[in-house]
């Protein structure tokens, strides 16, 4: 008997797939598999390899937090004496992210637990560590120390911000010191390294968490691949700066999929709560 | 006559630049070098140990370039590996235990960009150096001797007092790196050097460093640096451990 709800044949599937407009296809930057955009789901994860697309800071807050109140919303780089090129980059960053700097900070909640949160955004001048980025992060830890809150920080950064010169470098020391002070109060700091976390951010607060987590297939490193290739004159393997390799080598506590992250964090906050 | 930024870069990298080992031998007495990070390895790009400065026991740590090609290869041209930073951390913690001041000499273009360095946690090692350096409960003086580039230099330069020699540079990345990123042309080093504002004069004006040290070229200039260090150690030793940490915090907070 012919079932009128029978599954389409292989040919039929191919024919239907061809009708999907170009714009609805996504190519995974990690495994290069092409897939219909809806298959990535709300977490924007490649159905083939599990790599998560780079998320905006506000989207990340929506996905992983139940409540959020922004801090230092108006804080921004004074563009007065900056060159035109840098001004344009800052303006584009603000337009891309709807945040004034490469990090969004505030107080958030998951379930019954309040915490201070920071989310870096790679779409703001590659998530670079500008002077104001450092200022916001330092203030995040200060305020968390004052309010006796844990800190959860999502990092995403190409490293230092060249345009801010030596002041960018100084942020590494400045933020590190606030991390140390927060820690001395016996407060919890969880860093979650997202794609890409590199350079001066890796070499400071990203690697200073009590608990250091990452997402699948995240690029994490200090030196850039190109610089390493030029120095050692050989090509490192594809996965040499990937979260899975860092986990194996002992530099991450865990890799957590986006769909599990909220429950995972809820559990960690519970395990560190005073109640 | 003041040098241009590029002339300062050249002078900072000069073959005649005083070596960290010579500074240590000529300024301190009873230097005893210690090795290893107690975890994996000994990184020869970092020289460290204990010595006496005018009778006072101190911990000395510095990056060491080679004096010839063979030595340079062994020491990675003074570019530090994670094991080197971990050795420095170990010596800093040891100094804290025995209440010895720490003096660092920095001459490195940056942390070593190698595959093993990444596998062994270069980022993590620098991150921990910063935590330890910023919270060190003893006087901490950092002297930038030649090149100081990126987080790899900062890891040894979070002193209560940061000085630069006349012919030295300090920047977020090397002028070559800057030029290749900005103009995709690593040869435009001269412009890059200007843009990076990496000379001691500018960094003194910006408050990033506290003093410029007359270039060490002979016995009298060595003695001068020695006198400066003795006076600065004495000054810092008047503060309690908590005061030192608080002052260091204030110093870096303003950036
Ligand atoms: Zn994929």
pLDDT tens for each residue of B158-169: 999 999 999 999
Asked if residue B231 has pLDDT above 70, the reply is yes
Among A135, A222, A240, which would you mutate to test the B interface (most chain B Cβ atoms within 10 Å of its Cβ)? A222
Would you place residue B1 in the very low, low, confident or very high pLDDT band (cuts 50, 70, 90)? low
**Is residue A19's pLDDT more than 80?**
no
Inter-chain contacts counted by CB atoms under 8 A, chains A and B:
142
What is the rounded CA–CA span in Å between residue B204 and residue B164?
9
Residue A20 has pLDDT above 70, yes or no: no
Rounded CA separation B136/B117 (Å): 25
Question: 3-class DSSP state for residue A225?
Answer: helix
Ligand 1 centroid from CA A36, angstroms: 12
- Mutate which: B40, B113, B158, B180, vs A, most A CBs within 10 A: B113
Tell me: the pLDDT tens digits for B95-131?
Answer: 999 999 999 999 999 999 999 999 999 999 999 999 9
Which tokens in the block code for residue B151? 């987080």
- Known binding residue A31? Answer is yes
- Interface predicted TM-score (ipTM) of this complex, two decimals: 0.97
Query: Chain B 196-225, CB below 8 Å of chain A: which residues?
Result: 196-198, 203, 206, 208
Q: What is the mean pLDDT of residues A38-64?
A: 95
Residue-level pLDDT at A153? 98
- Would you call A224 and B134 a contact, using CB atoms and an 8 Å cutoff? no
Domain locations in chain A as residue ranges: 1-53, 54-271
User: What pLDDT is recorded for position A37?
Assistant: 86
Tell me how far the alpha carbon of residue B184 lies from the centroid of ligand 1, in angstroms.
30
A17 band by pLDDT with thresholds 50, 70 and 90? low
Would you call A247 an interface residue with chain B, using a CB distance cutoff of 8 Å?
A: no
A241, HSE (Cβ side, Cα atoms, 13 Å): 26
pLDDT tens-digit map of A121-131: 999 999 999 99
Question: Which residues of chain A make contact with B255, given a CB cutoff of 8 A?
Answer: 131, 134, 167, 170-171, 173-174
Kindly report the number of other CB atoms within 10 A of residue B53's CB atom: 18
pLDDT tops 60 at residue A1:
no
Q: Tell me what pLDDT residue A10 has.
A: 77
- Of the candidates A172, A181, A245, the beta carbon closest to that of B130 is on A172
Measured between beta carbons, the chain A residues lying within 8 angstroms of B123 are 202-203, 206-207, 220-222
Separation of alpha carbons B28 and B132, rounded Å:
24
* Record: contact A204-B127, CB cut-off 8 A: yes
Q: Looking at residue B239, what is its pLDDT?
A: 98
Burial class, B128, CB count within 10 angstroms (exposed 0-12 / middle 13-18 / buried 19+): buried
Q: Which residue has the tokens 């540079």?
A: B169
Residue A235: pLDDT band with limits 50, 70, 90: very high
Q: Binding site annotation covers A28?
A: yes
What are A254's strand-pairing partners?
A: A213
CA pair distance A199, A1, nearest whole angstrom: 64
Q: B187: pLDDT confidence band, cut at 50, 70 and 90?
A: confident
- 3-class state of residue B181 by DSSP: helix
Which residues contact residue A170 at a Cβ distance below 8 angstroms, ignoring those fewer than 6 apart?
A: A134, B154, B208, B252, B255
What are the Cα distances from residue B245, in Å, to B21, B50, B93, B114, B158? 29, 22, 14, 34, 11
C-alpha A196 to ligand 1 mean position (Å): 15
Q: How confident is the model at residue A14 (pLDDT cuts 50, 70, 90)?
A: confident
- Domains of chain B, first to last: 5-249 (3.90.226.10)
What digits encode the pLDDT tens for the residues A56-83?
999 999 999 999 999 999 999 999 999 9
The predicted structure's pLDDT at residue A24: 84
Torsion of CA A61, A64, A66, A68, to 10 degrees: -20
| Residues of chain A neighbouring B134 (CB-CB closer than 8 A) | 173, 176-177, 180
Looking at the predicted structure, is the pLDDT value of residue B5 above 90? yes
Average pLDDT over every residue of B51-63: 98
Q: Which of B126, B171, B248 sits opposite A203 (nearest CB)?
A: B126
What average pLDDT is seen over chain B?
Answer: 96
The whole-number pLDDT of residue A23 equals 75
Identify which of B105, B186, B96 has the alpha carbon closest to the alpha carbon of residue B141: B105
Q: Which among A170, A234, A245 has CB closest to B252?
A: A170
**B146, B196 Cβ separation under 8 angstroms:** no
Q: Are A205 and A179 in contact (CB under 8 A)?
A: yes
CATH topology of domain A54-271: 2-enoyl-CoA Hydratase; Chain A, domain 1 (3.90.226)
Shortest Cα distance, chain A CAs vs residue B226, angstroms: 27
Total Cβ atoms within 10 A of residue B29: 11
* Angle of the B82-97 helix axis to the B122-134 helix axis, nearest 10: 20
- The residue written with tokens 């990675």 in the block is B76
> For residue A179, what are its two tokens?
């991390």
Tell me the C-alpha distance between A33 and A49, whole Å. Answer: 9
**Cis preceding-peptide flag for B90 (omega within 30 of 0):** no
At A67, is the secondary structure helix, strand, or coil? strand
* pTM higher than 0.80: yes
Assess B150–A contact: CB distance below 8 Å, yes or no.
yes
Half-sphere exposure of A21 (CA within 13 A, CB side): 2
Tell me if A221 and B123 make a contact (CB, 8 A cut-off).
yes
Give CA separation, B45 vs A265, B110, B242, in Å. Answer: 40, 11, 32
Residues of A in contact with B171 (CB under 8 A): 165-166, 169
A130 has a chain B CB within 8 A of its CB: no
Q: Give me the percent of chain A exceeding a pLDDT of 90.
A: 86
Cβ neighbourhood burial of A44 (10 Å; 0-12, 13-18, 19+): middle
CB neighbourhood size of A154 (10 A): 26
Does residue B33 surpass a pLDDT of 90? Answer: yes
| CB distance B153 to B110 below 8 Å | yes
pLDDT given for residue B19 in this prediction: 95
Q: Dig out the tokens for A107 from the structure.
A: 């107080």
Chain A positions touching B151 (Cβ under 8 A) are 160, 169, 172, 199-200, 203-204, 222
B72, B124, B251: which to substitute to probe chain A, counting the most A Cβ within 10 Å?
A: B124
At A4 the pLDDT is 57
């Amino acid at each position: 008997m012919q079932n009128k709800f029978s599954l389409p044949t292989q040919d039929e599937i191919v024919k239907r797939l061809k009708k999907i407009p170009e714009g609805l296809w996504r190519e995974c930057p990690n495994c290069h598999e092409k897939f219909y955009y809806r298959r990535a789901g709300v977490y924007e994860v490649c159905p083939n390899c599990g790599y998560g697309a780079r998320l905006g800071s506000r989207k990340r807050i929506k996905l992983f937090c139940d409540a959020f109140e922004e801090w230092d919303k108006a804080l921004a780089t004074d563009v007065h004496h900056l060159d035109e090129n840098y001004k344009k980059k800052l303006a584009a960053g603000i337009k891309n992210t709807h945040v004034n700097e490469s990090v969004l900070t505030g107080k958030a909640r998951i379930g019954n637990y309040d915490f201070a949160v920071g989310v870096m955004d790679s779409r703001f001048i590659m998530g670079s560590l500008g002077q104001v980025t450092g200022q916001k992060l330092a203030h995040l830890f200060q305020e968390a120390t004052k309010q006796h809150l844990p800190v959860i920080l999502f990092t995403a950064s190409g490293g230092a911000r060249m345009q801010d010169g030596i002041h960018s470098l100084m942020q590494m020391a400045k933020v590190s010191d606030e991390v140390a002070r927060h820690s001395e109060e016996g407060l919890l700091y969880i860093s979650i390294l997202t794609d890409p976390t590199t350079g001066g951010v890796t070499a400071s607060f990203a690697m200073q968490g009590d608990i250091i987590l990452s997402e699948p297939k995240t690029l994490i490193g200090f030196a850039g691949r190109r610089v390493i290739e030029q120095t050692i004159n050989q090509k490192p393997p594809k996965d040499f700066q990937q979260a899975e390799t860092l986990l194996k080598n002992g530099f991450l506590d865990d890799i957590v999929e986006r769909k599990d992250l909220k429950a995972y964090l809820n559990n960690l906050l519970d395990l560190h709560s005073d109640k | 006559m003041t040098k241009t930024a590029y002339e300062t870069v050249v002078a900072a990298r000069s073959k005649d630049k005083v070596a960290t080992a010579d500074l240590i031998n000529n300024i301190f007495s009873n230097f005893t070098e210690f090795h290893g990070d107690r975890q994996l390895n000994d990184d020869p790009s970092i020289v460290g140990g204990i010595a006496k400065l005018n009778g006072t026991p101190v911990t000395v740590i510095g990056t060491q370039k080679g004096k010839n090609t063979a030595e340079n290869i062994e020491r990675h041209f003074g570019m530090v590996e994670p094991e080197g930073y971990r050795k420095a951390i170990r010596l800093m913690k040891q100094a804290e235990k025995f209440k010895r001041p720490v003096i660092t000499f920095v001459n490195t273009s940056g942390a070593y960009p190698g595959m093993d360095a990444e596998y062994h946690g270069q980022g993590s090692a620098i991150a921990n150096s910063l935590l330890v350096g910023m919270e060190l409960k003893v006087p901490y003086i950092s002297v930038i001797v030649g090149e100081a580039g990126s987080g790899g230099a900062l890891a040894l330069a979070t002193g209560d007092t940061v000085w630069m020699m006349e012919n030295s540079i300090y920047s977020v990345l090397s002028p070559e790196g800057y030029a290749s990123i900005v103009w995709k042309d690593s040869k435009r080093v001269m412009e890059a050097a200007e843009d990076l504002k990496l000379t001691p004069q500018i960094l003194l004006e910006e408050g990033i460093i506290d003093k410029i040290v007359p270039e060490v070229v002979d016995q009298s200039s060595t003695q001068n640096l020695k006198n400066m260090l003795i006076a600065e150690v004495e000054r810092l030793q008047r503060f309690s451990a908590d005061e030192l940490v608080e002052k260091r915090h204030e110093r870096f907070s303003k950036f």
